[in-house]
Amino acid sequence: MGWALLGAGLLLALYTLLRHGLRRSPPLRDRPELRGRTAIVTGGSSGIGAATALELARCGARVVLATRNAPRGEAAARRIRTETGNAEVVFMQLDLASLRSVRAFATAFLRQEPHLHLLINNAGVSAGGTTEDGFSLPFQDYCDSKLANVLHARELATRLQGTQVTCYAVHPGFVNTELFRHTPLWLKPLFLPLAWLFFLDAAEGAQTSLHCATQEGLERFSGRYFADCRLQEPWPPARDDRLARALWEASERLVGLGEAGENPSPAPAAVGQ
């Protein structure tokens, strides 16, 4: 019995050392003053989104949690208000799997909010099936969307030149959240312990988004790619300006915007940094 307890203790100690030693801690950051600024965080009811919203609220920002599930969104907003003492944390319903919901959210936001300063496009899902508009949700399409995110930020920055609005693509790292809650049951006994051991937690995963949203002096890097709170060079396909422009134009057609589709609602004057 004694040897068994000793062995179990050594294994637990090794496991703990690995967990904390192999994962890098987030960099120390000065907390910026964000009173008077409004932020939208999509997917803000859990995971990286909730951690991001919590930190923005601690900085004094008005934070809109834009998420699909109303009970979870309202609960997250209450929790963040209680924890930070910031009463300016609210929930607004947004289902990003529905273009109808996206348009309704944009209309409601523009009606009730005078400004938007920070937009954190955090929400993500890895699952099967399709959205109500026919867009695919299998795992491979999730992987392809990561390249699209980087290209989108690159083209958006080009189109925003001269507006003082900036944008960034970020990689939060491998983070232990509910993103892969649809992992097959047979894989979970292997995946979940590995995620707990090697992946970042949500607060650590939020650091790069917060860095790009609040750090002064990054404006000249608009459209670029950040990971681990540092500027990084993505693979060559993600630096292809022609591909970025083609993606933008195809996206406009798919969502019904641009010359051939309906006109988008007017954008708020201050989005981003």
Q: What letter represents residue 234's amino acid?
A: P
Q: Is pLDDT of 272 > 50? A: no
Residue % of the chain over a pLDDT of 70: 69
pLDDT score at 164: 93
Q: How far apart are CA 165 and CA 268, in angstroms?
A: 11
HEC profile for 175-225? Answer: ECCHHHCCCCCCCHHHHHHHHHHHCECHHHHCHHHHHHHHCCCCHHHCCCE
Residue listed under structure tokens 């890098």: 24
Q: What is the model's pLDDT at position 53?
A: 97
pLDDT at 213: 95
* Least confident piece of the model among 60-69, 93-102, 261-270: 261-270
pLDDT at 214: 94
Residue 128 has pLDDT above 80, yes or no: no
pLDDT digits (tens, 9 = 90+) for 238-252: 999 999 999 999 999
Predicted confidence at residue 189, as pLDDT, reads 58
pTM: 0.78
Domains located in the chain, CATH noted: 32-255 (3.40.50.720)
pLDDT of 28 higher than 60: no
Has 15 been annotated as catalytic?
A: no
Q: Which amino acid is at 225?
A: Y
Residue 233 in this model has a pLDDT that exceeds 70: yes
Alpha-carbon distance 47 to 50, whole Å?
Answer: 5
More confident call, 95 vs 262: 95
3 vs 48, higher pLDDT: 48
Residue 67 pLDDT: 95
Amino acid at residue number 25: S
Please give the pLDDT value at position 257.
82
Among 15, 142, 168, 225, the active-site one is: 142
pLDDT at 35 over 80: yes
* The predicted structure's pLDDT at residue 255: 87
Q: What is the mean pLDDT of residues 94-102?
A: 93
Q: Is the pLDDT of residue 143 over 80?
A: no
